[in-house]
Amino acid sequence: MSRHTRRRSSLQVRLLGAGAAVVAVAAAVATVTVASAHEPGGRTAQRAGADHAVFVQGNELDGNTIHVFERGDDGTLSAAGRYATGGRGGDQVDAPTDSLASQGSLVYDKASSLLLAVNAGSGTVTSFQVRGRKLIQRQVVDSGGDFPASIAVHGNLAYVMNAGGAGSVQGFRITARGLKPLHGSHRSLGLANDRVPLFSSSPGQVAFTPDGRALAVTTKSANTVEVFPVRRDGRPARHAVLNRSAGEVPFAITFDRRGRMLVAEAKNSTVTTYRVRRDGRLKTVQAPLPNGQDTLCWLERAGDFFYGGNTANSTVTGYRTDAHGSLALTNSLGIATPPSAMSQGVIDLAVTPDAKFLYVQNALSGTVDGFRVGHDGALTKVTTATGLPSFAESGMEGIAAV
């Protein structure tokens, strides 16, 4: 049986017991000069910040890169550059289509104009200053643990989730020169993984609540959502509040307009809605909602709509909230756009700031599809970017749209 076949057959997620372990790694900063592997010509914005772009993380094992695309007003994508991160990509054990098995591995922070990327194979995080569609002032810092896989940003704080070993979160200050480690912010997740974790037992995402008062981490096979209340100095509480997940295998996190937490659960392709209490406890306000698809892992908000990526059958599900905040499917099929034979291995998603366009990574095809979001939540394909690293021994993961 081939490695690819073994990975596909392992989509039935196994639940593993969590063990107790502690990781304490000092974060060290290493500043390097920017290096570009390829920079096609094209108009470059002179002002600070991004200028209608989509960034895709290649996650190449021999040298991670960021692929930059110019985004037209109609949502179409055109290649605009490729930049080396200065680190290596990673591949979790038995990952079926998604090498990092996480959401939020590539993040753009508008306030600082920084693009943040994980280098899972190097245990580092790279920041770039974004100037139009060019990436400059590359900086690489130690992630504070093994196999960094997700990043969360709020204000001048960034937290990195390390998926390997016991798992951990490490805090950083966002400065004009990139990320600066926040002393005393490292917290263990108490897991029991190898340095390169099994995809089903690694944590799925780290996310700030919209008010920045709490930091949440999904733990998949431990079947918990760990919530760290965040102090005024930006450091988490010493110990997380362990909330039992209402659905099986919690993976991705997003929030609605009211600040309630929505968690995508992979085993039964469900979404649960919670209210996050000040003490870190979660109150279920809507029970797990199934979408009828296979292996829901990613979930992103687009205004009053939400879109989920179902990796096992390569579909995208649409959700909407009503006036009372209740979540429902946008249609009875649970499919927001017809699946395509040329778009296989749906993984990570990104939504533009105006919520007009959704971009979807297709790991097996090595493509990114762009969709216009309709008034009823239906998706209309407007573009396909090709030539990206397709999943084999590893593959692309991480996408940001600005």
Q: In this predicted structure, what is the pLDDT of residue 147? A: 98
Question: Quick one: pLDDT at residue 300?
Answer: 98
| Band of residue 33 on the pLDDT scale cut at 50, 70, 90 | very low
What's the Rg (C-alpha) of the chain?
A: 19
pLDDT of residue 80: 97
Q: Which of the four pLDDT bands, split at 50, 70 and 90, describes residue 28?
A: very low
Mean pLDDT across 312-331: 94
Is the model's pLDDT at 13 over the cut of 90? no
Residue 20 reports pLDDT greater than 60: no
**The pLDDT of residue 393:** 82
For the stretch 139-195, pLDDT in tens is 999 999 999 999 999 999 999 999 999 999 999 999 988 899 999 999 999 999 999
In angstroms, the CA 209 to CA 238 distance is: 18
In the predicted model, what is the mean pLDDT of residues 322-348? Answer: 92
Contact predicate 190/166, CB 8 Å: yes
- pLDDT > 80? residue 117: yes
* Cα–Cα distance measured from residue 176 to residue 202, given in angstroms and rounded to the nearest whole number: 32
φ, ψ of residue 5 in degrees (nearest 5): -65, -40
Lowest mean pLDDT among 18-27, 168-177, 221-230, 331-340: 18-27
**Two structure tokens written together for 31:** 């500043």
pLDDT at 255: 98
Do 363 and 347 form a contact (C-beta atoms < 8 A)?
yes
Q: Name the pLDDT band for 301 (thresholds 50, 70, 90).
A: very high
Q: Is the pLDDT of residue 7 over 70?
A: no
342 pLDDT band, cuts 50/70/90, is: confident
Quick one: pLDDT band at residue 48, thresholds 50, 70, 90? low
C-alpha to C-alpha distance for 45 and 38, rounded to whole angstroms: 18
Give me the pLDDT at residue 181, please: 98
For the segment 240-260, the average pLDDT, to the nearest whole number, is 97
Instruction: Give 220's DSSP letter.
Output: G
Nearest to 177, CA basis, from 124, 119, 112, 122 = 112
Longest pairwise C-alpha distance within the chain: 53
Per the CB < 8 A criterion, the answer to whether 258 and 203 are in contact is no
pLDDT score at 339: 87
Q: How far is CA 379 from CA 38, 173, 223, 237, 357, in A?
A: 32, 37, 32, 41, 9
pLDDT at 46: 39
Residue 220 has what pLDDT?
95
pTM exceeding the 0.85 threshold for the entire prediction: yes
Domain coordinates in residue numbering, the chain: 3-401
Tell me which residue has tokens 């037992």. Answer: 201
In the three-class reduction of DSSP (H, G, I as helix; E, B as strand; rest coil), residue 9 is classed as helix
User: Average pLDDT of 31-41?
Assistant: 38
For the chain, what is the mean pLDDT?
A: 89
Cβ-based neighbours of 145, under 8 Å, separated by 6 or more:
23, 25, 123, 160, 162, 164, 165, 167, 168, 170, 186
Q: Which two tokens mark 389?
A: 């690293």
In this structure, of 45-54, 68-77, 210-219, 245-254, the range with the lowest mean pLDDT score is 45-54
CATH fit for domain 3-401, picks 2.130.10.10, 2.40.50.100, 2.70.98.40, 3.40.50.360: 2.130.10.10
